[in-house]
Chains A and B, each alone.
Chain A
Amino acid sequence: MEESQIREISCEQSVLSKPDGSSDFSQGDSSVMVGVYGPADVKQNKEILDRATIEVIFKPKIGLPGVREKAMEKMISNTCQAIILTTMHPRSSITIVVQVVQDAGSLLSCCINAVCLALMDAGISMKCMVAAVSCAISEDGEVILDPTLKVAQVASSVMHFAFESKEKDVILSSTQGMCSPDQYLSCLASCQEASDKIFTFYRTSAERRFSKT
């Protein structure tokens, strides 16, 4: 089926010169640019004695960040905390700046994937990779992966999941709209399956980048 596929993914790493790692990631028409600074100095009031402080700054395309953006920041930073080996860099900070270039649906998963690629580029030690997949349940109960804005608006519910690469465990789950437990679990399963495609993309993009030819 054409609809239950992840949209075309493309990515460019090290696009910015100042950050330690950066990525320009797009998934369909959704596009996000991420810069990672760190491990660097940390403000004294944010210092944690036994691990690094992870700070996420989420910049919307237009306007000032509001409460919704704050919630996104928190979800991204919690996801990063689960995968980064923060204990490797005690009393330092890892700052992740997420700039939305274009929102055409599934923004949260697009951001998480972009952040993972930027962290790889920055060479920050991680336990595992993370891949996020969104899906929507249409009014007639069909599961649509990686929904566009238009699909998400009419859908009865939209869900975002992030999986780690080792066991495919769920790191993040966020839902909007109502669904039955069975629908939730079937969405979870199809997103889990689709996350493979993103992990393969990570691998091929890294391979291509570091191969000598």
Chain B
Amino acid sequence: MISCSWYPTKLLLLNDDIKIRVSSSCNKYSFCHFSKFKKENIRPDGRELGEFRATLLNVGTINTAHGSALVKLGNTTILCGVKGEFAAPPVNEPKKGYLVPNVELPPLCSSQFKVGPPSEQAQVVSQLIDDIVRSSNLINLESLNIAEGVVLSGGESVYFFCVGTGVAPGFACCWGATKLPERGPKALSKLSWVLHCDMICLDYDGNIVDASLIALLAALKNVLLPAVRIDEDTGRAVTSQEGSIPLKLSCQPVATSFVVFDDTILLADPTKEEEGLATGAVTVVVNEEGDICSVHKPGKEGALYLPRKFMTASGDVSRDLRKLDSWLRKHWRVVKDDVPTGAYDLD
């Protein structure tokens, strides 16, 4: 058997006082490679154990969507676009609209994803984001209601036409027609917004839940929905750019993910390699008041779990994330005056 020491070693300088000798036979993605760094309480990319990667945010990147944002968390890149459409409200809840989050992991973002129907992981993350949105009451779904029980004249099929005017950044025309159900000579109709929130991963380097939630939040804060008026004569829904309204978000949930390495160490904001080597993972979602929206620990190997440690850790990290929070607040104020586009460095 060839021992590791036969191979030339490489001296890695992470910062001024930490030098780590790594054997070149040690695979970059292997456990032994990571263990060397673990001893120094540092990670291969130079971060401390509880440190997050640099976050870049670019808001209003897509001008054909109602709201959009691009988030970079280290290398992980998520692009979120929110598009509003007209739809009939749910039958059992006629006063509400919908919010449909969807996470896509295309083959572009990593070799582990193939073309075809959404991968298992994409579905699981979509479901988790949906659960978080529901749990935190992020949006009052009743505010997405446009018209409830409008009496429309005429027996023939009535179409709703959404007429948009002009294209401004962060605001797009929504061209669409919704056929209304015919019910006798007078149709009683209900209309709501359905917000399709598509989060597309462009680069997959771990911690996709946190990045997706930041992207979703930033994009939703960027949303400007056109004002809708229902023309009583024609039964058409007419949209106008004047009086377009931003969405009201009731809270700002921030997700913080950790992985458990070697059953003893907690790493915040894991990269893809760290996720692969970890024995367990947990995502804690807290809002600005410190209430828990979700604690998601999806089994996995390594039963270690220290609830209090996770709780306090998430507290610390969310304090770090106040930067993001305060920045989003600042951004939210800007949204009211003007539609902001552009890139921002959150750190």
Interface on A for B, CB 8 Å cutoff?
67-68, 70-71, 73-82, 128, 157, 159, 162, 164, 167, 169-181, 184-185, 188
CB of B296 within 8 A of CB of A162, answer no
Chain A positions within 8 Å of B39 at CB level: none
Taking the closest CB of chain B, its distance from the CB of A171, in whole angstroms, is: 5
**Minimal Cβ-Cβ distance residue in A for B312:** A181
Please list the residues of chain B having a beta carbon within 8 angstroms of any beta carbon in chain A: 120, 123-124, 126-128, 130-131, 134-137, 282, 287, 290-305, 307-308, 311
Show 19 residue pairs from A and B whose CB-CB distance is below 8 angstroms, ordered by the A residue.
Answer: A71-B127, A80-B299, A81-B300, A82-B300, A159-B295, A169-B304, A169-B305, A170-B303, A170-B307, A171-B297, A171-B303, A172-B299, A178-B135, A179-B291, A179-B292, A180-B290, A180-B292, A181-B292, A184-B295
Docked pose: A164 CA to B134 CA in angstroms: 29
Residues of A within 8 A of B298 (CB): 74-75, 78, 172, 174
B310 to chain A, nearest CB (A): 9
B315 to chain A, nearest CB (A): 8
Check A70 against B299 for contact (C-beta < 8 Å).
no
Residues of B near A75 (CB, < 8 A) are 298-299
Give the secondary structure class of B's interface: mixed
Give the chain B neighbours of A68 by CB distance below 8 A: 127
* 8 extra A-B contacts, CB within 8 A, seeds A70-B124, A172-B299: A67-B123, A67-B127, A71-B123, A75-B299, A77-B299, A176-B131, A184-B292, A188-B307
Do A170 and B305 form a contact, CB below 8 Å, given A81-B299, A81-B300? yes
CA distance A70 to B123 in the complex (A): 7
Q: How far is the CB of A8 from chain B (nearest CB, A)?
A: 26
Q: Decide: A175 and B307 in contact? CB cutoff 8 A.
A: no
Asked if B302 and A82 make an inter-chain contact with CB atoms under 8 angstroms apart, the answer reads yes
A70 lies within 8 A of B127 (CB): yes
The smallest C-beta distance from A133 to any residue of chain B, in angstroms, reads 15
Measured between beta carbons, the chain A residues less than 8 angstroms from B302 are 82
B127 A185 Cβ-Cβ under 8 A:
no
Smallest CB-CB separation from A188: which chain B residue? Answer: B307
Nearest CB of chain B from residue A23's CB, rounded to whole Å: 19
